Structures are given as C-alpha cells and as structure tokens.
Structure 1
Amino acid sequence: MPPSTTVTPLPAKRPASYTTPPAHHVGSPPSSFKNPWPSFGQSKALSQIIKARFFPQETFVPVPADRKGLVEVRKPDFGASRNGLKATWIGHASFLVEAPKAEGKERGMRVLLDPVWSERVGPYGMVGPVRFTPPPCEVEDLPEVDAVLISHDHYDHLDSPTLKRLMVKQKDDLRFFCGLGVKSVLVAQGVGIKEDQVTEMDWWDGITLAKEGVGSMELICTPAQHRSGRKPWNFDGTLWCSWIVQDTREKQEEPKRLFFAGDTGYCHVPSNEQLSYHHAPHPPCPAFAEVGELHGPFDLSLLPIGCYLPRQFMSGLHSSPDDAVSIHRRARSKKSIGMHYGTFRGGISMYYEPVTEPPRRFREAAEAEGLSWGEELGLCDIGETVVV
C-alpha cells in the first residue's frame, strides 16, 4: 500500500456487558460468530423458510411500473459546495461519506459504505435480487475515495464487480475495513485486493485512518444483530457489524459523528405484528443503547427500514421502520436517515412487503413518536447528499 495512508489502533471502549472471551465468539479463537442476545430469537427451520418463500400467505405486489411512490434518483454533486459531515446515498445500504475538511485542505477523508452498483446481487451474478432503482452515477464518477467499510459478507453488501471497478478507478490505492474473517472473502474475490490492504476488526475495536495531505478520521467497529455467509455451508463464519465514522479535526469543541447501522435487526417478533416494537414483551437488542452511551450522540445515523416482512422470519435480522425509530432514540442520534429500501427486493420479503411501504411507515412511526420529520428523522433521494 502507498505509505501516504496509515492505520493506527485506538484504545478500545467497551460496555460493562463485555466478557472475555467475547459472548459473540464461538470458540477461542473464534471459528464462527453468534448474536448473544435474546432479541435475536431462534433460527427458523428450513421447512418453515421454504414454506414462507415458495408458498407465501400474502399476495405478491409488483414494483410500480411507472415508479410512482418510489424513491427519486438525482445526479449527485457529493456536497461539493458545502463543508460538514456529508453522506451521499447511492441506494440500498451504499453511501459515500466525507468527513469535514480541515482548515487549508481541499477535502475531507472519504469512505464508501457497503458499495453496490451491480444490477443483480448473488452468486456469479446469476441468481439473487435484481435492482429496480438505478444508481445515481457510475463508479467511475465518484471522487477520490480513501477506504471502503464492509458491514458483512452478504452479496447485497459485499459486491465483487463493484469492488473490481473501484480498484481500477483507484489504481489499487484503497483501504478496506471489515469484521473478523471477512479479509479472506475480500482477497478471494479475484478483484486485486491484497491482504495488506484489509484491516479486520472485532466489535468495539477502533482505528485512526490518516492520509497525507488530506487529514484523518476515526473508524469504530460496533455490533449489529444479523448473520453472515455467502455459501450454505459457511453461515456465520465471518463477523457482521455496524460502523462509527468520527471527525478528528483539531480545534473543535465536539467532533462530528456518524453511525451506520449496516444490516441489523432490533428485536425478535414471533408473529407478523405491525406494532411499535420497542415496547415489551419484545426485548430490544442492547447494542444500540451501548453504542449511544459509549460513542454518542451522533450528528447523523443511517438506519435500515426495509426488507422486514414477514416479521416472524425477518425481525431478528432486519429492522422495520418502527424499529429504526427505536434505534434512533437508543443510539442517541440527532438526525437519522432511512436506508436499505427502494433498491432491491429480498427473497422472502418480496412476497409480503410492497416496496412503497417502508418510507410511508417510517414517517408514520416518527410522527407517532413525536419526532420532527425532516429534522430528526427523514429520507433522502438516491444521489442526494445530507450535510450536518
């Protein structure tokens, strides 16, 4: 790697619940990983999954042919005329994030979160969900990027064709940060990623990423409630996570902080309830409150709101719009934007969840909780840059 980019470990800040060995490790050293909370619930039997997938109880609702009610797409300017903490939505869970630029610098540090530009996400590009909303630009239209953060190794978050295009665009000058075990997945994609370009991190690990002539930022790997695996025989063999991106400019009273929740559930719901899930009897995942206590408040959070139905199958893995409102509060976020909707349809969710439902329910849930729509909670167009 070019010597202009450096990675320096930070002292870990861990919650009081942290144990040695960590509760999310299976084995020591870990051979796989697990969600260590009752909020995850129990994994469904294969027969139940097959029944829900191939014999759905709901009527399939197609994507609107005229795109009415779907997310708008605009050509991005990446907030070029504004300074601050910036997040440009590429679609699904993909964002370009830029830290505030330091005095005298042309730009701030930039990271891509779960970049996906492919039309189809799945093995060999032959099976899997198909994109129904185009990306706002090409990979080659992006400004210079310093690093890529991967939340987990599922195909709709770790996309080989996109990473190959990024490596070519960046002339191989790119760092990658991921959970434990994901390095081997990245290197094995055959897109030119070398081992010394990848830094694996466990939950609560942090580093400072610095680039000569640009500046620095802190990246902290935090928990999420999800699963991993690109092959049926290797489920949960790599770690899933969320991420914190923090400004490190000097001479500021309070650094700007961003929380990217990645792909996560919030609480296990045993039936297809359409309720506000942060209330008993469904215990919430405690990780988000711990993230907020240790590293909040956050100026901006990026929270998943789609692919959550049917609840009895998806609630442990994917947040509903109501769940996202609860995560917003527990993580101590000042402003949160919905993501993980409006781009791809999930394999099971496509038979139960109209693609126009997540944004509508997100606003309804926010207003029901007395939160200011567009200020505390909101949505943005694909290609739009949110600046805080």
Structure 2
Amino acid sequence: MPPKSLITALPPHAPDAYTTAHHVGSPPTGFKNPWPSYQTSGIGSLLRTRFNTPKNFVPIPTGRLGLVEVRKPDFSNATHKGLKATWIGHASFLIETTAPEGSERGMRILLDPVWSDRVGPYGMVGPVRFTPPPCTIDELPEIDAVCISHDHYDHLDADTLKKLNAKQNGGLRFFCGLGVKSVLTGLGVGIHAEQVEELDWWDGITMSQEGVGSVDLVCTPAQHRSGRTPWNFDGTLWCSWVVKEPQPSAKKLFFAGDTGYCHVLSDEQYSHHDAPHPPCPAFKEIGALYGPFHLALVPIGCFKPRSALSAQHSSPEDSLSIHKDVRSKKSIGMHYGTFRGAYSASFEPVTEPPERWRKGAEAEGLEWGIDVGLCDIGGTVVV
C-alpha cells in the first residue's frame, strides 16, 4: 500500500552562516562535525581509555530498585489533549500533535523506534535491554511517520521497522538524514524507496493527511557519528529533529537524537566553561531559528568515560545547556535507563544519569518537573 500522506518541501530556512561544511566530497560521500567542539579520538586513544581508565562497574540493580518505572501507555485523546510525547525507552518516543478541531487525533510520529531486546548486528551482539518496552508494537495506534536520527543500531532497529511496516501494510513514511535511505531499503524488511525521504541539515517538509491535519518536520544538526559497519563510519548523516504544529496551536518540539555538546578531558569537567574547546554552536542556531520550544527531548545517559565519549554523547550537564540553547520551556531526559552502552557499561552506573540530571537542574535554578524533568517509560508528557 503506498503512503497516503502528502509531502511538500518547506522553503529553505538556515542560519546565515550555513554551508555544506559537514559534507565530505561533492556530492557528499561522507559527513563530519564541522565545529571545534568535536574532537575525535583515534583507535589507539580509545583503547588506552578503555583499558587504562579506572572502571566504576556497578551491576544493574536487582528488582528494578532505583530504575525507571514502566507503565502501560494511554494513547487515548480523551485523556491527553495537546502535543504529546510518550516515552518507549532509550531514545524512542511516540509523538502526537494536537488534534485539529473536528479530528479524532493528530499526526503521529515515531522517533528512533526500538523494541528489540538486543541492539547490534543480526540481533546477536550488542547491548541488551534491561528495561522492557511499555507495550507491544501491535498495541500501538496507527502511525503516520517514523523519523530516524542516525543509523546506529540502538536508534535504527531492523526488526522493529519490519514489524511496524508490516503492521501498516507498507503505508509508513520514513524521514532520515542523507545516505540513510539506502540503509533502510537494504535492511530486507520491506521498506521501499518511495516510502523514504532523505533530508540534509536545515531541510524541512510538511506532511499532510486528510482528516488528521499536518505537521512540519525539520532535519537539524547534531554532533555525533554514524555507521553500522567498520568500513562505513560517517558515511550517512546524523541529525536532530524539529516537530512543528500548524496554527492555531503551533506547538513545537525538539528531539535531540544522540548528540554531544563539547569535548572535555575528564568527568570532572562537567561544564563546557572548563572545556578546552567551545560548545557546539548548532543548538543556539536551532533555538534562534525555531525556538522557543514547548518541549525538548534531550539525552542524559551513556556518556562515560568523558575523555572518549564527550564529543558524541551529552552528559546531563551538557543537556541542561542544550535546554537553554534551544530555548525550551520544558525538557525531558532520555537515552538512559534502557540499554547499557557497549562502551560506557564499565564506567557509568545506570542510576547516575537521572540523579545528575536532577542535581544539575537544581544547581542551575531550574524548577524540577516544570522547566526540566523525567518521564516514566510508557508515560506521556503533554504540553
């Protein structure tokens, strides 16, 4: 069944200084982070960090003591009215826009959906899920689109996409960064090229559906990397996403995907003010062009050891800066409490991210639960 929604391109809208500096080659054959805030670590440095940095391995708590709560999600519009974000776990969310007058629902977008128990090649290696999804794929309501931030296994999961696409008889739309279309169509899960729209940073589209309404989706920068195989690192584009409702509600959501903020040398350098390089400027650019946001979804976990991961993964303190840079009225922490990062498993207790997120928010004078907060897996945040 062909996708039934109408897709139209938005007019170009980018910072004045925007270039294709993140492209490698013309046309691009790869991508890079074009800012001083990103400092890559070579293989030798990564190995030295992994084996020489003192480990702080703490087992996952038994009985789920101290872990994020899991509840059955309520997708009813009778219960939740407004722009909604339901956390599935890790970086997976179901977004539903405000239902237009006379409509039973708004547009529904899945962000980086992952339901699998293990994320890695062939489902045989890679991090194992220690917190279950709050519902099955079959229990989801009808979905209009899937937005993918990048092609790492914990954000682009073949088995999940196969089940989603089959559930909707091939009628799903997929939106992704440059180069990810070939990944999606090459998974062998029945996704066809006409279902997929690739976008560069700052490109946007309007997706409209009769009887449901419309939504703007804008591909925006993030500071990260990509690749599912050692021979194709950074061959596809990583991104964040802006979700914007039409008038009269005009609510706006920012999804950071997986991103770093600044390069630091150790965990003691919580703040980018102490970092040897300035923070990534993209988030202030996003805030200037598209903010203020009613809701932002920002990563707070899988960030240690900082000497190796800080350029690619935000600490809770980094994401508090992202909250301010994008001018979000409310930000919810994600990318924690679900998978133990393959690299960070030996260095980061799984209970640390939410504790530091709250402690950092209070230190910044932000009101917990109002300006920033957390959400149960299966819980819905409404703005």
- TM-score between the two structures when normalised by the length of structure 2: 0.97
- In structure 2, the residue matched to 1:181 is 179
Consecutive unaligned residues of structure 1, counting only runs of 5 or more, are none
- In structure 1, the residue matched to 2:35 is 37
Checking the alignment, whether the CA contact within 8 Å between 2:56 and 2:348 is kept in structure 1 is no
Change (3 A) 1:49 1:279: closer
1:272 aligns with 2:264: no
Residue 45 of structure 1: how far off its partner (Å): 2.1
Checking the alignment, whether the CA contact within 8 Å between 1:78 and 1:384 is kept in structure 2 is no
CA–CA separation in structure 2 for the residues paired with 1:64 and 1:218: 41
Residue from 49, 52, 57 that aligns with 2:54: 57
Residue 278 of structure 1: how far off its partner (Å): 4.8
> What SS does structure 2 have at the residue aligned with 1:307?
coil
Checking the alignment, whether the CA contact within 8 Å between 2:115 and 2:160 is kept in structure 1 is yes
Residue from 31, 39, 44 that aligns with 1:47: 44
What CA deviation, in whole Å up to 9, does each residue of 1:269-303 have, x standing for no partner?
02232522355654110000000000000000000
Residue 56 of structure 1: how far off its partner (Å): 4.8
- In structure 2, the residue matched to 1:360 is 355
CA–CA separation in structure 1 for the residues paired with 2:188 and 2:361: 43
- In structure 1, the residue matched to 2:333 is 338
Q: Match of 2:374, as an amino acid?
A: L
Change (3 A) 1:385 1:221: same
CA–CA separation in structure 2 for the residues paired with 1:5 and 1:108: 13
Q: Match of 2:49, as an amino acid?
A: A
Change (3 A) 1:79 1:352: farther
What CA deviation, in whole Å up to 9, does each residue of 1:44-78 have, x standing for no partner?
22122223335552132110112111000000003
Residue from 209, 226, 251 that aligns with 2:207: 209
- In structure 2, the residue matched to 1:14 is 14
Residue 17 of structure 1: how far off its partner (Å): 1.8
CA–CA separation in structure 2 for the residues paired with 1:366 and 1:44: 30
CA–CA separation in structure 2 for the residues paired with 1:2 and 1:188: 18
1:152 aligns with 2:147: no
Residue 169 of structure 1: how far off its partner (Å): 1.0
Residue from 68, 72, 82 that aligns with 2:69: 72
Runs of 4+ residues over 4 Å off in structure 1: 278-281
What CA deviation, in whole Å up to 9, does each residue of 1:188-231 have, x standing for no partner?
00110000000000000000001122111000000000000000
Checking the alignment, whether the CA contact within 8 Å between 2:173 and 2:195 is kept in structure 1 is yes
CA–CA separation in structure 2 for the residues paired with 1:296 and 1:360: 27
RMSD value over aligned CA atoms?
Answer: 1.3
Q: Match of 1:61, as an amino acid?
A: V
Checking the alignment, whether the CA contact within 8 Å between 2:49 and 2:307 is kept in structure 1 is no
Consecutive unaligned residues of structure 2, counting only runs of 5 or more, are none
> What SS does structure 2 have at the residue aligned with 1:66?
helix
Residue from 179, 198, 216 that aligns with 1:200: 198
1:27 aligns with 2:22: no
- In structure 2, the residue matched to 1:386 is 381
Checking the alignment, whether the CA contact within 8 Å between 2:150 and 2:226 is kept in structure 1 is yes
CA–CA separation in structure 1 for the residues paired with 2:120 and 2:75: 28
Checking the alignment, whether the CA contact within 8 Å between 2:262 and 2:280 is kept in structure 1 is yes
